[in-house]
Amino acid sequence: MMTTFGRLPPEIVSLILQQLSRQRDLYECAIVNKTWNTTATPLLWQQPSLRYDHNLRETFFICLATASHPIGQHIRVVKWYYINYEDKHLLCLIKHARSLQRLEISKAHNITDASVEPLARTCRDLTTLFLCTSPITHISIDSLNEHCHQLSNLALIDCHNIPSTTFLRLAHCPLQGICFKIRDWHLYSLDSLYSWSALQERIPDFVRFDRLTSLVFHEPSTSFVLSLLSTSQTPTTTTNSRVRWPYLTHLTLTHPDANLTTVNYRINRLNSFDEEEEKQNMDKVEDYFITFFQTHPHLCSVILRGYPLGARVLEAMAAFLPNLSILDLSWNKKIEPHDIRQLVMHCPTLTYIYMDHCGLSWDDFPEIVHVYNKSRYKCRFDLRPFPSRLCNLHQTLINQIRGDDSDGSVSYLELLTEPRVTWWQ
């Protein structure tokens, strides 16, 4: 068998190895023989995995800088999570990996304009950028706009120094996915992006991206959400569409009250909001969401965590979103079991519903069989030892609510597995 594989041309071997998803398997293939090593090495370097090992991080950069062959030319995707990275690391990377297409850094508080501005100038094939807690300024934003004309997905999480004119400055980037996670916005000046009132005034700057497929805002003010939803209904000048984002498939909006973890945060938020104005705005939210769903029928993932939406909104989802697959209604105390049941019955493509902290329990859905099949042991167990609070409905439970033929068996893996959602969704 090895003799047969040894006679295959490198192009065929490469096609075979590209089907391997685990780096460990590629490592095993790289030590088979010289031909396989030559083919597997570029695949191994396309997306180097550093995990959270400091020693592995340093070894990676040493290999990158001292390799006899330019192995950095194979790097396309870099995901740096769990450990801190600095400007020197990013500068070393872009020096050797000019064909980088996707960069994600979760602990970027030491990643500044000193490395992000050169990143934009050097890696002009960049399509995806994710930065968390980076102190970059308008310098990096302007450089991205000037050089990265393929940048389609941008996520800036708690980047305190970016200006409120960020979207205006990115006019030359064909953005399709926008993600902003904004926390403790009240601590920053009104000239910062972290003032929702300042950003609300700049909504026309980014609704111009009529190719958007994913839109994510975490913890925006209600007045900002209302302005966003209403502005999106204004027809564009470049298309005949009735809406700004005719291709939108993923929408995520999380209310500031969702998943509050500290008393201080709640006190600060209450001090920052005009509570009476907030209450009046929330009365309009349902109407705005209903209109938005009616004009954006391609939505398949809708995450509205913390918004008190009732039966009318769920009925609109069932009527206007024929492709709805993933829905998150967590921290919504307004929904009732009957509302969920009707949604499930009228949304044939629905596969997963998040309902954490909605006050619902297993007993609210007696049609669900409380057993699952733990396939490893070929046994059936009662789900009642699990907490009575119902946190989500996956495909098998949704089928049971619909009355589909089922013996009630739920695999243990399905019970623990959630749908995979990318960071910009």
Three-class DSSP labels, 297-318? CCCCEEECCCCCCCHHHHHHHH
Strands (DSSP E) found in 47-159: 77-80, 102-105, 128-132, 153-157
Q: How confident is the model at residue 185 (pLDDT cuts 50, 70, 90)?
A: very low
Q: How confident is the model at residue 375 (pLDDT cuts 50, 70, 90)?
A: very low
At 217, which helix (H) or strand (E)? Answer: strand 214-218
CB 345, CB 383: distance < 8 Å:
no
| Burial of residue 199, with CB atoms counted within 10 A of its CB: 0-12 exposed, 13-18 middle, 19 or more buried | buried
DSSP type of residue 235: P
Better pLDDT: 116 or 375: 116
Long-range contacts of 107-112, Cβ-Cβ distance < 8 Å, separation of 24 or more: 107/80, 107/81, 107/82, 107/83, 107/132, 107/133, 108/132, 108/133, 108/134, 109/84, 109/133, 109/134, 109/135, 110/84, 110/85, 110/86, 111/85, 111/86, 111/87, 111/136, 112/87, 112/136
| Residue 299, token pair as written in the block | 């939505």
Better pLDDT: 29 or 415: 29
Strand partners, 389: 361
* 334 Rama sector, left if φ>0, alpha if ψ -120 to 50, beta otherwise: alpha
Which pLDDT does position 181 carry in this prediction? 79
- CA 269, 273, 276, 281 dihedral sign is negative
Which pLDDT does position 322 carry in this prediction? 95
Q: What is the rounded CA–CA span in Å between residue 422 and residue 401? A: 28
Better pLDDT: 269 or 303: 303
Better pLDDT: 166 or 416: 166
Which pLDDT does position 142 carry in this prediction? 97
Domains and CATH numbers, the chain: 1-46 (1.20.1280), 235-247+259-265+291-425 (no CATH)
Q: What is the rounded CA–CA span in Å between residue 290 and residue 285? A: 9
Mean pLDDT of 326-349: 94
Q: How confident is the model at residue 194 (pLDDT cuts 50, 70, 90)?
A: low
pLDDT of 268 above 50: no
Which pLDDT does position 422 carry in this prediction? 60
CB 148, CB 122: distance < 8 Å:
no
Which pLDDT does position 93 carry in this prediction? 95
Which three-class secondary structure state does DSSP give residue 28?
A: helix
Mean pLDDT of 15-36: 77
Better pLDDT: 172 or 416: 172
Condensed to tens digits (0 to 9), the pLDDT of residues 75-124 reads: 999 999 888 999 999 999 999 999 999 999 999 999 999 999 999 999 99
Q: What is the rounded CA–CA span in Å between residue 105 and residue 79? A: 6
Mean pLDDT of 327-335: 93
Which pLDDT does position 122 carry in this prediction? 97
Q: How confident is the model at residue 160 (pLDDT cuts 50, 70, 90)?
A: confident
Which pLDDT does position 12 carry in this prediction? 80
Q: Locate tokens 């019970």: which residue? A: 415
Out of 53-57, 77-81, 272-276, least confident range: 272-276
Q: What is the rounded CA–CA span in Å between residue 312 and residue 291? A: 11
Mean pLDDT of 304-314: 92
Q: How confident is the model at residue 307 (pLDDT cuts 50, 70, 90)?
A: very high
Which pLDDT does position 191 carry in this prediction? 44
User: Which residues are CB-contacts of 253 (< 8 A; sequence separation ≥ 6)?
Assistant: 216, 217, 220, 225, 303, 304, 305, 307
Q: How confident is the model at residue 196 (pLDDT cuts 50, 70, 90)?
A: confident
Which pLDDT does position 415 carry in this prediction? 52
Which pLDDT does position 381 carry in this prediction? 42
pLDDT of 425 above 60: no
Sheet holding 326-328, edge to edge: 77-80, 102-105, 128-132, 153-157, 177-181, 214-218, 250-254, 301-303, 326-328, 352-354, 392-393
Cα 178 from chain centre:
9
Q: How confident is the model at residue 266 (pLDDT cuts 50, 70, 90)?
A: very low
Which pLDDT does position 382 carry in this prediction? 46
Q: What is the rounded CA–CA span in Å between residue 288 and residue 277? A: 16
User: Which residues are CB-contacts of 331 (< 8 A; sequence separation ≥ 6)?
Assistant: 255, 257, 258, 259, 305, 306, 356, 357, 358
CB 264, CB 239: distance < 8 Å:
no
pLDDT averaged over every residue in the chain? 81
